[in-house]
Amino acid sequence: ATLPYDDQNIFAKILRGEIPANKVYEDDHALAFHDINPQAPQHILVIPKGPYVSWDDFAARAGDAEIAGFVRAVGHVARAAGMVATGYRLLANIGQDAHQEVPHLHVHIFAGRPLGPMLA
Ligand code: 5GP
């Protein structure tokens, strides 16, 4: 079962401006910023502005406009960063076995080098 949303999580604090982030894009539905510990030359996180614990929670509870806005924002960030020509990887960790560390939905965007085969 999904935990209730904890508004003290680090990405909620970034959304409220309580802690800084190196932002790359923002609109009504989404915020994108550089990961603090990048795993590729380009490693961006995209988060919805609403209080969703994970992709699972978002898919279950978010409105259609929020979902569409978020999906479009992820695409926009990758396109605007010039990732489409060379390719990029999207990743969302959901829950314990996936080692999700921050309980606010985030999609990782990795690019800037050959990323190799998908992790197990
Ligand atoms: P997860 O394992 O939950 O999918 O990924 C969490 C990601 O958030 C990690 O890649 C980690 O480096 C990143 N992260 C954690 N805390 C912060 C922070 O305060 N600022 C930024 N920009 N990234 C963070």
Query: In this predicted complex, what is the ipTM?
Result: 0.99
User: 10-111 has which CATH code?
Assistant: 3.30.428.10
Give the per-residue pLDDT at 31.
Answer: 98
**Amino acid in position 45:** L
**CA–CA gap between residue 73 and residue 33 (Å, rounded):** 12
Residue 3 — very low, low, confident or very high, per pLDDT cuts 50/70/90? confident
CA angle 6, 91, 53 (to 5 degrees): 15
Rounded to the nearest angstrom, the distance between the alpha carbon of 102 and the centre of ligand 1 is 7
Give the per-residue pLDDT at 118.
Answer: 80
Residue 120 — very low, low, confident or very high, per pLDDT cuts 50/70/90? low
**Amino acid in position 54:** S
Residue 107 pLDDT more than 80? yes
Residues ≥6 apart with Cβ < 8 Å to 74: 30, 46, 90, 107, 109
Rounded to the nearest angstrom, the distance between the alpha carbon of 10 and the centre of ligand 1 is 8
Mean pLDDT of 103-109: 98
Do residues 78 and 111 touch, judged by C-beta distance below 8 A? Answer: yes
Phi/psi at 60 (5° precision): -80, -35
pTM over 0.95: yes
Mean pLDDT of 82-94: 98
Q: What is the pLDDT of residues 32-83, one digit of tens each?
A: 999 999 999 999 999 999 999 999 999 999 999 999 999 999 999 999 999 9
Residues with CB under 6 A from ligand 1: 10, 21, 33-37, 93, 99-102
For the chain, give the number of residues. Answer: 120
So where are the chain's domains? Answer: 10-111
Active site (annotated) includes residue 99: no
**CA–CA gap between residue 111 and residue 29 (Å, rounded):** 23
